[in-house]
């Protein structure tokens, strides 16, 4: 539908007309929603350049595209580029609309999510609290935008080990989304997946599997078997099986997730896509637990290349992976595990 409309607008008004650019923007959003990140980036870049030329760099429509490009960069693991986009969008929106406008607050929320990924927990919580208080005031306690920030703040609390607070937030978000959107809405399913992660971290494996299965079935129905959001839950289900000692089932889930990422994103692009890197790392840990050192080393090496690209060589994850590879090399040299330290990288990578 968008493609036909785009061809008509390009023919009637030209490639740089505002109506043409609006359609390109809609196509970019569709591609992003489908997990076609490369195509989405190309479309957003076209929109941004066109809107900057037509309206200027500080027009609100331009800033919306800047924000969307930030989201896309964050999804691709391009964290530096994402932060630049978010900061530009935030400064422009604060100037145009004010600090408490809903669009401004949405970019605040997005910046908080980026800070969480970067491990800047203090800054992330400050941003989330600002976004939440603003949205509760302007939109109401049960508005879907408010609930999205509640969900994100819950994820931050979980990352900080504040599991009681995290569960309260997730339950609030889930109940609100079920009421507003229904059980099978994509946003509801994302919170269901996140609650599964929390239950898994608490050792509540039965409840965790129920959440994951519900999320997986819903995502497969809504997005398809190979959408990146579906694959994230597949990875998480693999982790749950691994923690329960169901190694065959775990490997099947990891392999399914990895093959899906490779198909959707391409072999080159998965090296900077954090969920794919997490699956590669998890698969390496599974192979190591099975004493398959050769396969474990291949997976860890791939993960290290990616983490260095995304976070830099001095990031904790990169350092730990280097140590882990050194330990595996010692195993290969000695042909025995005697005297080799246990792996340092014990925290599972949920998506």
First-to-last C-alpha distance (Å) of the chain: 32
- Which candidate, 90, 110, 112, places its Cα nearest to that of 101? 90
Radius of gyration of the chain (CA): 21
- 278 near 235, Cβ under 8 Å? yes
Is 304 a domain residue? Answer: yes
Is 113 a domain residue? Answer: no
Q: What number of other Cβ atoms are within 10 A of residue 318's Cβ? A: 20
Instruction: Please enumerate in sequence order all residues whose Cβ is within 8 A of that of 45, keeping only pairs 6 or more positions apart, or say none.
Output: 69
Is 266 a domain residue? Answer: yes
Q: What is the pLDDT averaged over residues 135-149? A: 95
Please, what is the angle between helix 247-265 and helix 274-289, to 10°?
A: 150
- 192 near 211, Cβ under 8 Å? yes
What is the tens place of the pLDDT at every residue in 267-291? Answer: 888 888 999 999 999 999 999 999 9
Q: What is the pLDDT averaged over residues 308-329? A: 88
Whether the predicted pLDDT of 261 surpasses 70: yes
Q: d(Cα 116, Cα 291) in Å, to the nearest integer? A: 33
Domain that holds residue 317: 259-351
Is 87 a domain residue? Answer: no
Q: d(Cα 197, Cα 211) in Å, to the nearest integer? A: 9
Is 348 a domain residue? Answer: yes
Query: How many domains would you assign to the chain?
Result: 1
What is the tens place of the pLDDT at every residue in 170-198? Answer: 999 999 999 999 999 999 999 999 999 99
Is 77 a domain residue? Answer: no
Is 344 a domain residue? Answer: yes
Whole-number pLDDT of residue 1: 57
Is 81 a domain residue? Answer: no
Q: Tokens 């490779």 sit at which residue? A: 262
Please give the helix or strand (H or E) that residue 311 lies within, else none. Answer: helix 293-311
What is the tens place of the pLDDT at every residue in 207-241? Answer: 999 999 999 999 999 999 999 999 999 999 999 99
| Averaged pLDDT score across all residues of the chain | 90
């Amino acid at each position: 539908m968008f493609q036909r409309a785009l061809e008509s607008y390009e023919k009637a008004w030209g490639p740089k007309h505002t109506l043409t650019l609006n359609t390109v923007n809609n196509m970019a959003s569709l591609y992003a929603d489908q997990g076609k990140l490369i195509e989405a980036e190309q479309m957003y870049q076209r929109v941004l350049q066109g809107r900057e030329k037509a309206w200027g760099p500080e027009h609100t429509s331009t800033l919306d595209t800047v924000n969307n490009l930030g989201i896309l960069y964050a999804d691709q693991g391009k964290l530096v580029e994402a932060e630049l986009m978010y900061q530009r969008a935030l400064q422009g929106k604060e100037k145009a609309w004010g600090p408490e406008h809903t669009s401004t607050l949405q970019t605040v929320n997005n910046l908080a999510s980026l800070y969480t990924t970067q491990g800047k927990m203090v800054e992330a919580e400050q941003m989330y609290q600002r976004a939440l208080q603003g949205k509760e005031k302007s939109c109401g306690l049960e508005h879907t935008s408010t609930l999205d920030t509640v969900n994100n703040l819950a994820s931050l609390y979980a990352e900080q080990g504040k599991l009681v607070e995290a569960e309260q937030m997730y339950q609030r978000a889930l109940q609100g989304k079920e009421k507003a959107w229904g059980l099978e809405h994509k946003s509801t399913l994302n919170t269901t997946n996140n609650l599964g992660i929390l239950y898994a971290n608490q050792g509540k494996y039965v409840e965790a599997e129920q959440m994951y299965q519900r999320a997986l079935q819903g995502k497969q129905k809504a997005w398809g078997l190979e959408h990146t959001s579906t694959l994230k839950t597949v990875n998480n289900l693999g982790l749950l099986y691994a923690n329960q000692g169901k190694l065959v089932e775990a490997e099947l889930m990891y392999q399914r997730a990895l093959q899906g990422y490779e198909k959707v994103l391409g072999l080159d692009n998965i090296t900077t896509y954090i969920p794919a890197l997490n699956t590669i790392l998890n698969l390496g840990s599974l192979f190591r637990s099975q004493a398959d050192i050769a396969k474990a080393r291949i997976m860890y090496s791939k993960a290290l290349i990616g983490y260095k690209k995304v976070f830099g060589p001095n990031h904790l994850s990169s350092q730990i992976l280097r140590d882990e590879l050194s330990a595996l090399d010692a195993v290969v040299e000695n042909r025995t595990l005697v005297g080799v330290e246990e792996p340092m990288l014990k925290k599972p990578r949920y998506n």
